[in-house]
Amino acid sequence: MIRKVVPNVTQACQGIKNGMTLMFGGFGLSGIPENAIAQIVKLNKNHLTCISNNAGVDDFGLGLLLQKKQIKKMISSYVGENAEFERQMLSGELDVELIPQGTLAQRCQAAQGGFPAFYTPAGYGTEVAEGKETREFNGKWYVLEKAFEADFAFIKAWKGDEAGNLIFKGTARNFNPNMCGAAKITVVEVEELLPAGALDPNQVHIPGIFVQRIFQGENYEKRIEQLTVRKRN
């Protein structure tokens, strides 16, 4: 068994440099690597390119990096919950590349799996396809999209073991598994870190081979963005 455990977030985040490209798992505020984000804020690294489906909210998630203007460029599919983001984008302070959500997922998956490029129908005929190669297969048009190239992927899992095997919970799974192994170094924080052998090998979502560092996360806030409930009868 190859051990991937590091003792804390400080060591897990070693090696981050100004100007690097970082991936972050999560959808909205669900399944985001809270500990790693806090550490990157603390490290005050800047000129970062961040790949993440969303950009957090004003005072949480990647919004914390935006507040401190650590982000030079955002690659996302939806950023609609963040006023500071919108301000920086419209003023031109922040470079933003908006891409279809499925394309975002597959550009991660391609990086993980050694595919340099793939054809997808998403965005054909729109400004997303501008400057990109397009091509017809079986009478339908597709856009050529490339694998991401990133330095770090920051992942949040539910349970993990010392070998780096991961299990995600509910819809906190989202982009997290797709980003594992999609960057040079994959750093995972977990709610529960277990000894090797504690996870059923049949139920592992992501094998440890895609993970370089794993650590026990702390103090999860797990904020809810849109609390929607029913009244009990």
Q: 106: how many CB neighbours lie within 10 A of its CB?
A: 20
Taken as a whole, the chain contains a residue count of 233
Taking the C-alpha atoms of residue 80 and residue 32, their distance in angstroms, rounded to an integer, is 17
Question: Site for other proteins (CB under 8 A): which residue of 43, 67, 73, 205?
Answer: 205
Question: How, if at all, do strands 134-137 and 140-146 pair?
Answer: antiparallel
Rounded least distance, CB 98 to other proteins, Å: 5
2 touches a copy of itself (CB under 8 A): no
* Distance (Å, whole) CA 199 – CA 167: 8
* Binding partner selected for residue 215 from other proteins, a copy of itself, none, CB under the kind-specific 5 to 8 Å limit: none
Stretch that binds a copy of itself, among 56-64, 88-96, 140-148, 188-196 (CB under 8 A): 140-148
Report if residue 223 touches other proteins, rule: CB under 8 A: yes
DSSP annotation of 231 reads P
Pairwise CA distance, residues 125 & 230, whole Å: 41
222 lies in the site for other proteins, by CB under 8 A: yes
CA distance 178 to 41: 24
Q: Which of 178, 188, 193, 215 binds other proteins (CB under 8 A)?
A: 178
Tell the smallest beta-carbon distance from residue 138 to a copy of itself (Å): 7
Binds 24, which of other proteins, a copy of itself, none (CB < 5 to 8 A, cut-off by type)? none
Is residue 231 involved in binding other proteins (CB under 8 A)?
Answer: yes
Nearest by Cα to 117 from 151, 135, 144, 142: 144
Rounded to whole angstroms, the Cα distance separating 7 from 229 reads 39
| Partner whose footprint covers residue 137, from other proteins, a copy of itself, none (CB < 5 to 8 Å by kind) | a copy of itself
Contacting residues toward a copy of itself, per CB under 8 A: 106, 114-121, 137-138, 140, 142, 146, 167-170, 201-203
